[in-house]
Structure formats: structure tokens, C-alpha cells
Amino acid sequence: MKKILVTGGSGFIGSHTCLLLLEEGHEIFVIDSHINSSPKSLERLSTIIEAENIFLNGKLHIYKGDLRDNKILKKIFLDANKNGGSIDAVLHFAGLKSVSESFNSPMLYWDANVNSTINLLKVMEANNCKTIIFSSSANIYNSKTPQLTTENSEINPVNPYGRTKAVIERILTDIFESASDTWRIANLRYFNPIGAHPSGFIGEDPQGVPSNLFPFITQVAAGRRKELTIFGNNWPTKDGTGVRDYIHVMDLAEGHLRALKYLLDSKPRLLNLNLGTGKGTSVLELIETFEKVNKVSIPYSFVNRRKGDLPITIASNELCKTCLNWTPQRTLEDMCRDGWKWQLQNPKGYFNSNENF
Ligand code: NAD
Ligand code: UD1
């Protein structure tokens, strides 16, 4: 059992990872400002865990606060020390993630993503906690070719959001190089996480109009939006629509647990790893699979390409497979089925949800 600080643990990927951490018996300390999430996600974890006959026994500690607030961070580390031991590692999910918002409010993104991380790192160092897994993104690459993106592909983000991720990776690399015999760091570069926990109790809950494809599809299927607009039908791809590497959020969460174990069991090191499936799916293929698996219809029309879009991004996941002995297990059908179950059980996300599911 380890003591793990999870930043942004109420969010989409964080909540699924918290569930697995609790299932493995870890004690977790979650900090989240709820700027893009609901506290209900963590309440739901207890429901899932209890249904599995696992007893939390005070192993889930929740703090509402912002990472830029030193006081709350220090308090968490102090609290963790109370019953002996200390925070062993940090899973750092907290951050803002909208590309379009980052174009409109770059200062907000630099402050929320980079300054938060610097603050966190300072408090970690002061408490001699030197193991961190950082939520990076495929967005740091700017792959213009159909080849698989490897960890050595050029880093050249084209929007403020991606630049904050690349800079945080740079900061972490500098810190590692300054004391490479003490830090254990993993920059996990996610491709396109979708789906939900198979229970349908936790899932993705975007605020406002979803900017990503999958939540848009589920909301169209549910009748919450009239139709999907597809950004371009003339891309140099198999059917003219954009191709992405979709990965089930549970596979992604499991990747974090592997990375955590790997880091804690090995000597200090810095890892840069892609988390993806290595398979490309076009927009039309995703729609077709979703319709078939869930027996629903997704009306759509084509519009112009979206600013900043790329034709194809697919991960090479060879490094992750060999290093972490981790391979994504779930299919595109699983992603579509689980994501739809979440949408059906929570038509308005966590907001106004019927807790008697
Ligand atoms: P999310 O918005 O659902 O979760 C992020 C959480 O962090 C939210 O609960 C939010 O309230 C919290 N948060 C934000 N700023 C905070 C701050 N300053 N202090 C405390 N809490 C704060 O997003 P997600 O999809 O779960 O993504 C998690 C991480 O993974 C993010 O850093 C994101 O940039 C990165 N990422 C996500 C994707 C994706 O497609 N979802 C892809 C690549 C990388
Ligand atoms: C987008 C972001 C990326 C971010 C990622 C995860 C842009 C340009 N890129 O990536 O920085 O890391 O989300 O948050 O915003 N599509 C439609 N109609 C829609 C929505 C999307 O056709 O309503 C298409 C897109 O053109 C793309 C595919 O669906 O071809 C996937 O889009 P999306 O889910 O937004 O993911 P990314 O483009 O990979």
C-alpha cells in the first residue's frame, strides 16, 4: 500500500485512475478545484468500490482546492504524515485542456497549467517526494505524416495548450537532470481517451458544448444535440475524415498503475511514453461502430476543417508495451458501448443526476 497524491482526481481520467488505485488498496489524497468536474465523481467511486466488497477504511481523502494555493498542498503533505509514512508519489492530472480556450485565454492556460505544476513540484521537493506521473498529451507533437508517432517524433505544439504541456515536460526534464539519482518521473503522452467505466457510474462530463468528437457523438445519440458536424471530408485519409488513436479510459487508467509500479520499483529515471493503441480510426468509422454496437443513429453533416486539426495521429506504443509490459485490452466496440452506457445513465452528466441508479 502506498500513499498517493492525485491532482485533478475528480476529472475524467483522474476519477477512473482513482478507482483502480483504491481497488489496489492504496491510500489516496485527491486535490481538485472542480473547475471542470463535479465532486460527485468521487462519491460514485465509493458506490462502485462497495459493490465490489472492498472497504475504503478511510483511504480516500478529498480536498477541494487549487494547486496554486500553497497552503492546501502543504496541509495535504502534513495530513499524509500524521499516521506515519508520507506521500510516495504524485499522479498529476490537474490542468485545463481545451485547445480553443487556450487560444482565447493563453495567460489562463500558462498560469493554470505551468504555475500550478511549479507550485506542486516545490512542495513535493520540500517534502522529499520525488516521484511524479504527469498527464502529457499527443498534442505536443505536430505530426504531419501518416506514420506512427514515436516518443522521438518532433515536439512542436501548435497551440498554447500543447505548449504548456511541452514546457512542463521540459521543466520536469531539467529537474531530473539536476538530480538524476533521486527523481522518478514519467511523462505519459495520451492519445484520444474515450469510453467510461463499464458500470456507467463514472465517465466524461464535459461542460457546455463538447469540443471533442466522442462526447459529441454520445450527446447526439441521446438527442441532446441535433446532429454531428464533421470537420472536413477531404483529408488525405482512408475516407477523407480525420483519423485518431482512440483508447479506452480504463486502459489508460491501467497504464498509470503500471507506470506507478514501474517507477516505484526501479531506480530513479525519466520516462517519456505514449499511451495509445497504435490503431487509427476515422470519424466515419467511429460513427459506424457506435451505431452498430448501440443500435442508434448519428445524423451528421460535413463542414469545413477545424483550425489546428491534423489528418492523422496514431501512437507507436512499442515503448510502453516493452517498458511497462502494458497493452491496451479494450476494443473500439467496448469504448462505444461503455461510453453510451454512461450517457444513458447520466443524461446530464453528474449534474442533476439521479443518484438512485
Ligand atoms: P478533466 O478536465 O476532466 O480533469 C482535470 C481536472 O483537474 C478537473 O477535475 C479540474 O477541475 C481539475 N483542475 C484543473 N485545474 C486545476 C487546478 N489549478 N487545481 C486543482 N484542480 C484543477 O480532464 P481529463 O480529460 O481528465 O484530463 C486529465 C489530464 O490529462 C489533463 O491535464 C489533460 O490536459 C490531460 N490530457 C487529456 C486528454 C483528453 O483527451 N482527455 C488528452 C491528453 C492529455
Ligand atoms: C483535440 C485537440 C487536442 C486535444 C484532444 C484531447 C484540437 C485541434 N485538438 O484533439 O489538442 O489534446 O482533443 O482533448 O482541438 N471532429 C469532428 N467533429 C467534432 C469534433 C471532432 O469531426 O465535433 C473530428 C476532428 O476533426 C478529428 C476527430 O474528430 O478528426 C477527433 O477530434 P477530437 O476528439 O477533438 O480530438 P483531437 O482532434 O485528436
pLDDT values of the chain reduced to their tens digit, one per residue, 357 residues? 999 999 999 999 999 999 999 999 999 999 999 999 999 999 999 889 988 888 888 899 999 999 999 999 999 999 999 878 899 999 999 999 998 899 999 999 999 999 999 999 999 999 999 999 999 999 999 877 778 999 999 999 989 999 999 999 999 999 999 999 999 999 999 999 999 999 999 999 988 889 899 999 999 999 999 999 999 999 999 999 999 999 999 999 999 999 999 999 999 999 999 999 999 999 999 999 999 999 999 999 999 999 878 899 999 999 999 999 999 999 999 999 999 999 999 998 997 554 433
Ligand 1 centroid vs 93 CA: distance in angstroms? 5
For residue 302 and ligand 2, the question of a CB distance below 6 A is answered with: no
| Model pLDDT for residues 52-82, shown as the tens digit of each residue | 888 888 899 999 999 999 999 999 999 999 8
Domain assignment of residue 355, yes or no: no
Alpha-carbon span 165 to 170, nearest angstrom? 9
Residue 14 belongs to domain with CATH number = 3.40.50.720
Give the Å distances, CA to CA, from 87 to 4, 82, 131, 229: 6, 11, 9, 45
Instruction: Give the number of the atom of ligand 1 that is nearest the alpha carbon of residue 165.
Output: 34
Which bound ligand lies closest to the C-alpha atom of 118? 1
DSSP at 139: G
Alpha-carbon span 275 to 35, nearest angstrom? 25
Which bound ligand lies closest to the C-alpha atom of 204? 1
Ligand 2 centroid vs 212 CA: distance in angstroms? 5
Domain assignment of residue 357, yes or no: no
Residue whose C-alpha is closest to residue 32's, from 2, 60, 13, 11 = 11
Q: Is-catalytic flag, 161?
A: yes
Domain assignment of residue 158, yes or no: yes
Which bound ligand lies closest to the C-alpha atom of 306? 2
Instruction: Provide the domain limits for residue 284.
Output: 3-350
Ligand 2 centroid vs 239 CA: distance in angstroms? 17
Total tally of structural domains belonging to the chain: 1
Domain assignment of residue 246, yes or no: yes
Domain assignment of residue 131, yes or no: yes
Residues with CB under 6 A from ligand 1: 8, 10-14, 31-37, 66-68, 93-97, 112, 116, 135, 137, 190, 192-193
Phi and psi at residue 90, in whole multiples of 5°? -120, 130
For residue 99 and ligand 2, the question of a CB distance below 6 A is answered with: yes
Q: Which pLDDT does position 352 carry in this prediction?
A: 59
Domain assignment of residue 134, yes or no: yes
Domain assignment of residue 99, yes or no: yes
The residue ranges of DSSP E strands in the chain, in sequence order, are 3-7, 27-32, 60-64, 89-92, 131-137, 184-190, 192-194, 228-231, 243-244, 246-248, 269-275, 281-282, 300-303, 312-313
Which residues are 313's β-sheet partners? Answer: 244
Report if pTM > 0.85: yes
Given 63, 109, 141, 161, the catalytic residue: 161
Q: Which pLDDT does position 299 carry in this prediction?
A: 97
Closest residue (by CA) to atom 25 of ligand 1?
12
